[in-house]
A and B are shown apart, each in its own frame.
Chain A
Amino acid sequence: MELDPLVLSRIQFAFTISFHIIFPAFTIGLAAWLATLEALALATGHAVYRTLFAFWLKVFAVAFGMGVVSGIVMAFQFGTNWSELSHRMGPIQGPLLGYEVYTAFLLEGTFLGVVLFGRARVAPWAYLASCCMLALGTTLSAFWIMANNTWMQVPVGWELNEGRYAPSDWRDILFSWVAWIRFFHMLLGAYLTTAFCIAATGAWYMLRRVYRIEAHVMLTMGLGLAAVLAPAQIVFGHLNGESIAEYQPSKFTAVEGRWQTEQPARLILLAWPDPANERNHWEIALPWLGSFVDTGSFTSEEPGIVTVPKDQRPPFLIPFYSFRIMVGLGLLMLALSWAGMWLRRRGWDRAPRIFLWITFLSFPSGFVAVLTGWFTAEVGRQPWVVFGLLRTADAVTPTLTTGEALTSLVAFVAVYTLIFSAGTFYIYRLLHGGPAAEPPTPGRGATAFRPLSASGPAPSADGRRRTTGAAE
């Protein structure tokens, strides 16, 4: 593969968007979790909620900061590297991005300041309202991004106007059922990601025998939420699959791994493709189930990849395998959360260590599922950038030189590596230290360190909390 501006731009976009999505996937759920904790603290007065709030707020601040700075890159990259896309599709995609700024970014950016620094300056209800605004902002951001991306997957409501695409009916674009299904699919994915990070942190503390009360709350809330959301996610995932079957047969057949049209169709679990001969070298498949998962009938005819013209087929391996990783992780999260709910009846103190270990090690499951889900969606859309309307190869900036593209790619890889390593390490240290840990920065005045409220070493109101973290 020659390193031309197109290939470099694709690598850069894939790299920067993958890096970026990790943080929204985490902070969409965290913002909602913080608002919930703050509401619970106000409603019940239990100190544990305030402790957890102050603790997760620090994690949120680091993760959100990385999400913000990596997100700015996205808003300009459409123009720098994909100017033909923005030139032709701007009248539709631009306003959608604009609404994300109006309703989401400004809300988040402004209320983040209040949530991080304003506790002492506003009334408790106003503080809670600010947390809710932050959570609302992250949710709206997800909506506009999904509306925008869905338009690239299933373009609707457009008309051609002197070589440029213009909106013919915004209602078709905004109320496309595919967009709404994918919005909820993304939102649930984000909540599951956060739920497993929180549950994993609880399991970690249980394994280390620290912060028992906080660990119980985190395990119950994290796994409890996942136990409800994981089945819902499977339903929305299935609905999303139906929309792909309907609108994107090229992606659908690649994800299914089926070269020839079959009736009844098999469900291919694993395979290695042989594109030259339009078949799989080897495969593990279950009879009839391919028809069943698509139509609910055991006998329906299902199309193969060969029904798609060769120059319109996406790559095979990435959509095929990333889809399977995503589904596998979804099933794992379902199993873990339901097992957790069953174990909880006897109390978390009696939960087997092996369960706690698995829960602890499952912390990346949501991130990997979100990433592989996006790989499936985006690579499966190729060779189109806007499905059926504009090819990726025709969307790249015509004047872009290899030198420019290489420079920016190297710069982004270098700076993202730096901030990702540091940020991950700081989050790890925050989580390891736990709710009672002092920040590791001597040399500042004691008052400057005073966290928002009860997260210091002072005993909490209900007196049950073990504050052993700092002593370890």
Chain B
Amino acid sequence: MSAVDAHLPQLWAMIIAFAALLYVMLDGFDLGVGILFGTTDDEDFRRTMMNAVAPVWDGNETWLIFVGANLYGGFPIVYSILLPAFYLPVTVLLVALILRGVAFEFRYKTQRFRWVWDWGFFLGSLAAAFVQGAAVGAIVDGIPVADGRFAGTPFGWVSAFALACGVGLVMGYMLIGAAWLVLKTEGPLRDWAYNRILPLGAGLLLFLVVAFGYALTEDLRVMHRWLERPWLLTFPLIGGVATLGLLAGLRRRADWVPFTAIACIFLAAFGTMAGSFWPYMIPFSVTIDEAASPLASLSFLFWGAGVVVMPIVLAYTVAVYWVFRGKVSDDAAYH
């Protein structure tokens, strides 16, 4: 067994974590734009908002399937526990993603029923963000597991903390969505987006501090982890520095700063959470090693998909973002 083989489960868990972080940043901004879309009825704003995410939303959303499929292949136990545990929220998520996904095409195919797809785009984005946040909250709260299988009830995931996390993620996605609009648009829409960053950012920060405090006080195991691993404090520190950077960027109106800073805040929040639970994939019942597929499955994924395909994927993802760099202009739309 080579050195790599011995650490394949941890390595693969890190790749999944990386993909999940990429997902919340990337689909986060286009879901956020979808939610902001519902808060204005200015058709020019709405059209530009849609154009700002239209070329990339599909690729962004694929990272969610990436996480799902890699859990299925690398950690089937986690996959087969989490999805039954969140049966109803997952149903809501899928219906929401369907409604918002078709809106990109459908709203330009009709005048009379455009409102249907506009509502679908807004509510779909909102519901998708909310259930994702609620699910993360419920995982932090703990999921009943017996014999490697989910052992709870259909509404077992509901708790005040989970619902609060849903609201928190909606705010987070709106925030990064507004930052994306600042980055990609000009004129009145950019100003409109700038004005939303401060209140949303304040709300998110408040939520993060309260949620972190709650997790520390409610669950002593989390507290111990932080006392044992003080280096974990790097993550909140990154968040703090990024917040200061965000404030400075807002003052100077440097369009690239808010998105970068908020992406760093996302990284900080994500790292704080992952660090609190590592090596548990479902706290505190299933660890990475317990859930991992046999070596034959993981090394098949690692050497082919991880070593060969993944760098190619990252390269063309960056290339396509580069192709669509700069402010969106209406003439680039194909409709």
Does B84 have its Cβ within 8 Å of any Cβ on chain A?
yes
For A62, the chain B residues whose CB sits under 8 A away are 105-106, 109
Q: How many Å lie between the Cα of A166 and that of B101 in the bound state?
A: 36
Does A398 have its Cβ within 8 Å of any Cβ on chain B?
yes
Does A343 have its Cβ within 8 Å of any Cβ on chain B?
no
Interface size classification for chain B: 35 or more
What is the size, in residues, of chain A's interface with B at 8 Å between Cβ atoms? Answer: 90
For B333, the chain A residues whose CB sits under 8 A away are 117, 448
**Complex contact B109–A90 (CB within 8 A):** no
Does A15 have its Cβ within 8 Å of any Cβ on chain B?
no
**Complex contact B69–A87 (CB within 8 A):** no
Q: How many Å lie between the Cα of A45 and that of B329 in the bound state?
A: 28
Give the residue of B43, B56, B309 whose beta carbon is less than 8 angstroms from that of A103: B309
List A residues at the B interface (Cβ < 8 Å): 57-58, 61-62, 65-66, 68-70, 72-73, 75-76, 78-80, 83-84, 86-87, 89-103, 105-114, 116-122, 133, 161, 164, 166-168, 170, 397-401, 403-404, 407-408, 411-412, 415-416, 419, 422-423, 426, 429, 439-445, 447-452
Q: How many Å lie between the Cα of A89 and that of B78 in the bound state?
A: 13
Give the residue of B99, B102, B324 whose beta carbon is less than 8 angstroms from that of A423: B102
| B93-110 Cβ-contact flags toward A at 8 Å (1 or 0) | 011011101101110111
17 contacts between A and B (CB under 8 A): A57-B334, A58-B334, A62-B106, A75-B69, A87-B148, A89-B76, A95-B297, A98-B70, A102-B66, A110-B59, A113-B56, A170-B300, A412-B91, A419-B98, A422-B102, A426-B105, A451-B334
Tell me the minimal C-beta distance from B17 to chain A in angstroms: 15
Give the residue of B59, B77, B310 whose beta carbon is less than 8 angstroms from that of A87: B77
Q: How many Å lie between the Cα of A296 and that of B152 in the bound state?
A: 57
Give the residue of B84, B88, B94 whose beta carbon is less than 8 angstroms from that of A397: B84
Q: Specify the chain B residue showing the minimal Cβ separation from A448.
A: B330
**Complex contact A448–B313 (CB within 8 A):** no
**Complex contact B294–A91 (CB within 8 A):** yes
Q: How many Å lie between the Cα of A46 and that of B215 in the bound state?
A: 66
Give the residue of A102, A112, A411 whose beta carbon is less than 8 angstroms from that of B305: A102
Does B149 have its Cβ within 8 Å of any Cβ on chain A?
yes
Tell me the minimal C-beta distance from A118 to chain B in angstroms: 6
For A423, the chain B residues whose CB sits under 8 A away are 102, 106
**Complex contact A73–B98 (CB within 8 A):** yes
Q: How many A-B residue pairs have CB under 8 A?
A: 277
**Complex contact A445–B76 (CB within 8 A):** no
Q: How many Å lie between the Cα of A419 and that of B101 in the bound state?
A: 10
For A449, the chain B residues whose CB sits under 8 A away are 335
For B297, the chain A residues whose CB sits under 8 A away are 91-92, 94-95, 166-167
**Complex contact A161–B320 (CB within 8 A):** no
Q: How many Å lie between the Cα of A398 and that of B77 in the bound state?
A: 14
Most buried by A among B60, B80, B81, B104: B80
Tell me the minimal C-beta distance from A176 to chain B in angstroms: 15
Give the residue of A58, A400, A445 whose beta carbon is less than 8 angstroms from that of B84: A400
The majority secondary structure among interface residues of chain A is helix
For B142, the chain A residues whose CB sits under 8 A away are none
For A95, the chain B residues whose CB sits under 8 A away are 73-74, 293, 297, 300-301, 305
Tell me the minimal C-beta distance from A42 to chain B in angstroms: 19
Q: How many Å lie between the Cα of A447 and that of B330 in the bound state?
A: 7
Does B58 have its Cβ within 8 Å of any Cβ on chain A?
yes
For A57, the chain B residues whose CB sits under 8 A away are 334
**Complex contact B102–A404 (CB within 8 A):** no
**Complex contact B80–A72 (CB within 8 A):** no
Q: How many Å lie between the Cα of A462 and that of B60 in the bound state?
A: 41
Q: Specify the chain A residue showing the minimal Cβ separation from B94.
A: A73
Chain B residues numbered 277-335 whose CB sits less than 8 Å from any CB in chain A: 293-294, 296-297, 300-301, 304-305, 309-310, 313, 316-317, 320, 323-324, 330-335
Chain B residues numbered 104-154 whose CB sits less than 8 Å from any CB in chain A: 104-106, 108-111, 113, 148-154
Give the residue of A65, A103, A447 whose beta carbon is less than 8 angstroms from that of B105: A65
Q: How many Å lie between the Cα of A86 and that of B297 in the bound state?
A: 14
Q: Specify the chain A residue showing the minimal Cβ separation from B56.
A: A113
Does B65 have its Cβ within 8 Å of any Cβ on chain A?
yes
Q: Specify the chain A residue showing the minimal Cβ separation from B113.
A: A422
Query: Taking A110-B317, A407-B91, A419-B102 as contacts, is the C-beta distance between A76 and B323 under 8 angstroms?
Result: no
**Complex contact A109–B72 (CB within 8 A):** no
What 9 pairs between A and B have smallest CB-CB spacing?
Answer: A90-B76, A94-B73, A79-B83, A113-B55, A94-B72, A95-B73, A83-B80, A69-B101, A87-B80
For B108, the chain A residues whose CB sits under 8 A away are 439, 441
Q: Specify the chain B residue showing the minimal Cβ separation from A122.
A: B323
Q: Specify the chain A residue showing the minimal Cβ separation from B103.
A: A65
**Complex contact A80–B83 (CB within 8 A):** yes
Q: How many Å lie between the Cα of A117 and that of B56 in the bound state?
A: 10
Tell me the minimal C-beta distance from A143 to chain B in angstroms: 14
**Complex contact B58–A114 (CB within 8 A):** no
Does B217 have its Cβ within 8 Å of any Cβ on chain A?
no
For A170, the chain B residues whose CB sits under 8 A away are 296, 300
For A404, the chain B residues whose CB sits under 8 A away are 87-88, 154
For A398, the chain B residues whose CB sits under 8 A away are 149
**Complex contact B111–A411 (CB within 8 A):** no
Query: Taking A76-B94, A83-B149, A404-B88 as contacts, is the C-beta distance between A116 and B61 under 8 angstroms?
Result: no
Tell me the minimal C-beta distance from A415 to chain B in angstroms: 5
Does B164 have its Cβ within 8 Å of any Cβ on chain A?
no
For A166, the chain B residues whose CB sits under 8 A away are 293-294, 296-297
**Complex contact A68–B296 (CB within 8 A):** no
For A58, the chain B residues whose CB sits under 8 A away are 334
**Complex contact B293–A91 (CB within 8 A):** yes
**Complex contact A415–B99 (CB within 8 A):** yes
Q: How many Å lie between the Cα of A72 and that of B294 in the bound state?
A: 26
Q: How many Å lie between the Cα of A58 and that of B79 in the bound state?
A: 37
